[in-house]
Amino acid sequence: QVQLDESGGGSVQAGGSLRLSCAASGYTDSTASLGWFRQAPGKEREGVAALRRRSGITYYADSVQGRFIISQDNAKNIVYLQMNSLKAEDSATYYCAAAPLAYWPLRPADYKYWGQGTQVTVSS
């Protein structure tokens, strides 16, 4: 059984920063791919950043490239999403997701396990 627990959401002004955390528990092989996704009201869920844990290869959506950083602490089994230079359009519920292998790391359908989400609100 895989469990993902997100934390770190909140409200921030445009230009500010937040760091999201995702604590993963369960079989390591089931969380070889980890990703952060977001969904704003009335919009589809979209991939923001992803990580192949063994290789450390990262993937980013064009909209966050250069502003967001995904990283991992293997000892604590936590994946982080550092979000800098936040914009109003970054406001959404952010979800952590995991899969044994995500062929398309930023595609939600490739992920089997999901956290409950954490809200991020950026005011302009």
What are 74-89's pLDDT values in tens digits?
888 899 999 999 999 9
What are 12-26's pLDDT values in tens digits?
999 999 999 999 988
Q: What is the mean pLDDT of residues 94-119?
A: 96
What are 31-78's pLDDT values in tens digits?
899 999 999 999 999 999 999 999 999 999 999 999 999 999 988 889
The predicted structure's pLDDT at residue 7: 96
Strand order in the sheet with 68-73: 3-7, 18-25, 78-83, 68-73
